[in-house]
């Protein structure tokens, strides 16, 4: 009897202890929840995704490894899966974020406030399928008071793999997005400003580069007229003059085309043989060479590597430098005018060097420092833009344009172009 009594007492005490323990744990849990959930400044949402677990497991068993790719092919399933989701709980910060007045109100309209987002859902599905514990993504929320709030969300899944209590944390990134947008806008403004000023420069360059062939055309037209009307018409000479006219018209056209391409898109650069490029460029100004009575020499090293260039632009550089040289020699009345265009390999620097050399008057030391300035010209009709344009084209190709000149010996302009490595230089 006494024995039984003690057993009963012991059992009762044990029971009391257990009840007390449970009660205490529950109290501690509640306190924990109040501190870390309800009062958390970070919005926390608890969702139950267990309804979709078996579907995901079945998909995995069928061999679906990439749920993102699978759902992209069957987007209607996202909405279907979503029907099995439940919003379990939301803390005060969630209510504030959405502008909701009470938890009940929020939970009632949560499915509308947080409609299925393919991207976000896929991330959680993938995490569930891979048995991982966290997922993260970005999405935009539309609040009850009409605000649009970009957030980064982070989900933590219980280690047990139980998907009935997935915690979602939301971080408002409005400020970061705003700063990012300000930065992007500033960059775009800057790029636009740079473009506008380049367009300004280019307009001047059109005037400069188109003026030359037009002048050549008008000279050729007069010549052709003479060949056809002077005494015995010389059709052959007239025809060859017409050929020159056509070439110059093509040159003017190429310049205009270059501007158009520039305005449309990024510069087009291709692996190019400088040998062919230099010969083409000089071919285009053959007429001027004759007129200025200049003998042109081409010295090109054999088997040069290619350069990645905009062919039209580099041709323009060669033409500008060569015309300057011819004009300088003609204006100075140089006898025996020689123009040499040479291309040499400089393997140590992985560049090729193009040299345009004349035996003209040279450039006076007092002005040599100014020839690359915009609008600096010693010619009555000069625009003083040719060298500015050459320098900027060469620079944009990753090369350098330099000059060397000696009185009565002549002038040599040199520019480098990096080897083509299959990469567009900045």
316 binding Mg ion? (CB under 5 A): no
Number of residues that bind Mg ion (CB under 5 A): 2
Q: Which of 100, 110, 122, 383 binds ligand ADP (CB under 6 A)?
A: 383
Least separation in angstroms between residue 351's CB and Mg ion is 24
Q: Pick what 371 binds: ligand ADP, Mg ion, none; C-beta below 5 to 8 Å, kind-dependent.
A: ligand ADP
Q: Which of residues 340-379 bind ligand ADP (CB under 6 A)?
A: 358, 360, 363, 371, 376-379
Q: How far apart are CA 289 and CA 241, in angstroms?
A: 14
Least separation in angstroms between residue 319's CB and ligand ADP is 11
CA 60 to chain centre: 39
E strands present in 80-237: 86-90, 134-142, 148-156, 166-172
Binding mask 197-226 for ligand ADP (x = CB under 6 A): ------------------------------
Binding mask 319-338 for Mg ion (x = CB under 5 A): -----x--------------
E strands present in 245-318: 270-272, 294-300, 307-309
Q: Which of 157, 314, 328, 351 binds ligand ADP (CB under 6 A)?
A: 328
Q: How far apart are CA 123 and CA 184, in angstroms?
A: 28
Q: Are the CB atoms for 94 and 43 separated by under 8 Å?
A: yes
Query: Which tokens hold the place of 285?
Result: 């100004």
Q: Are the CB atoms for 188 and 172 separated by under 8 Å?
A: no
Q: Which residues pair with 341 in a beta bridge?
A: 298, 356
Q: Which residues pair with 402 in a beta bridge?
A: 414
Binding mask 51-90 for Mg ion (x = CB under 5 A): ----------------------------------------
382 binding ligand ADP? (CB under 6 A): yes
* 305: DSSP letter: P
Name which of 269 and 391 has its Cβ closer to ligand ADP.
Answer: 391
- Chain residue whose CB lies nearest Mg ion: 386
Q: Which of 386, 399, 410, 418 binds Mg ion (CB under 5 A)?
A: 386
Q: Pick what 363 binds: ligand ADP, Mg ion, none; C-beta below 5 to 8 Å, kind-dependent.
A: ligand ADP
288 binding ligand ADP? (CB under 6 A): no
Per DSSP, the residues of 237-252 read: HHHHHHHHHHHHHHHH
Burial class (CB in 10 A: 0-12, 13-18, 19+), 200: exposed
Number of residues that bind ligand ADP (CB under 6 A): 19
CA 63 to chain centre: 38
Place of tokens 């062939």: 213
Name which of 120 and 205 has its Cβ closer to Mg ion.
Answer: 205
Q: How far apart are CA 44 and CA 54, in angstroms?
A: 26
Least separation in angstroms between residue 367's CB and ligand ADP is 7
Residues that bind Mg ion (CB under 5 A): 324, 386
Residues that bind ligand ADP (CB under 6 A): 320, 324-325, 328, 358, 360, 363, 371, 376-379, 382-387, 411
């Amino acid at each position: 009897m006494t024995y039984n009594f003690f057993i009963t007492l012991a059992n009762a005490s044990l029971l009391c202890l257990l009840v007390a323990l449970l009660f205490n744990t529950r109290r501690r849990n509640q306190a924990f929840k109040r501190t870390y959930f309800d009062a958390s400044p970070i919005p926390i949402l608890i969702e139950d995704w267990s309804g979709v677990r078996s579907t995901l497991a079945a998909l995995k068993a069928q061999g679906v490894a990439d749920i993102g790719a699978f759902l992209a092919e069957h987007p209607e399933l996202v909405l279907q899966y979503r029907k099995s989701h439940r919003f379990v709980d939301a803390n005060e910060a969630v209510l504030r974020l959405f502008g909701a007045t009470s938890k009940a109100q929020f939970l009632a309209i949560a499915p509308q406030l947080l409609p299925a987002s393919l991207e976000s859902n896929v991330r959680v599905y993938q995490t569930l399928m891979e048995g991982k514990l966290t997922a993260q993504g970005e999405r935009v929320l539309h609040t009850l008071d009409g605000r649009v709030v970009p957030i980064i969300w982070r989900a933590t899944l219980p280690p047990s793999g139980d998907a009935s209590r997935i915690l979602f944390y939301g971080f408002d990134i409005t400020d970061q997005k705003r700063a990012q947008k300000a930065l992007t806008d500033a960059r775009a403004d800057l790029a636009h400003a740079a473009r506008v000023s380049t367009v300004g420069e280019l307009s001047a360059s059109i005037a400069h580069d188109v003026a030359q062939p037009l002048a050549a055309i008008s000279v050729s037209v007069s010549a052709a007229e003479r060949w056809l009307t002077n005494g015995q018409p010389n059709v052959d000479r007239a025809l060859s003059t017409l050929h020159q006219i056509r070439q110059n018209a093509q040159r003017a056209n190429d310049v205009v085309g270059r501007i158009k391409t520039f305005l449309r898109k990024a510069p087009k650069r291709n692996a190019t043989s400088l040998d062919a490029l230099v010969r083409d460029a000089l071919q285009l100004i053959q007429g001027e060479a004759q007129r200025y009575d200049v003998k042109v020499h081409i010295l090109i090293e054999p088997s040069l590597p290619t350069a990645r260039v905009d062919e039209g632009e580099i041709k323009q550089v060669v033409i500008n430098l060569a015309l300057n040289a011819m004009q300088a020699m003609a204006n100075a009345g140089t006898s025996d005018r020689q123009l040499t265009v040479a291309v040499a390999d400089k393997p140590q620097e992985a560049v090729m060097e193009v040299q345009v050399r004349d035996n003209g008057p040279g450039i006076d030391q007092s002005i040599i420092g100014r020839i690359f300035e915009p609008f600096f010209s010693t010619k009555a009709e000069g625009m003083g833009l040719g060298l500015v344009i050459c320098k900027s084209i060469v620079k944009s190709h990753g090369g350098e344009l330099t000059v060397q000149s000696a009185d009565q010996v002549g002038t040599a302009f040199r520019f480098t172009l990096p080897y083509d490595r299959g990469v567009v230089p900045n």
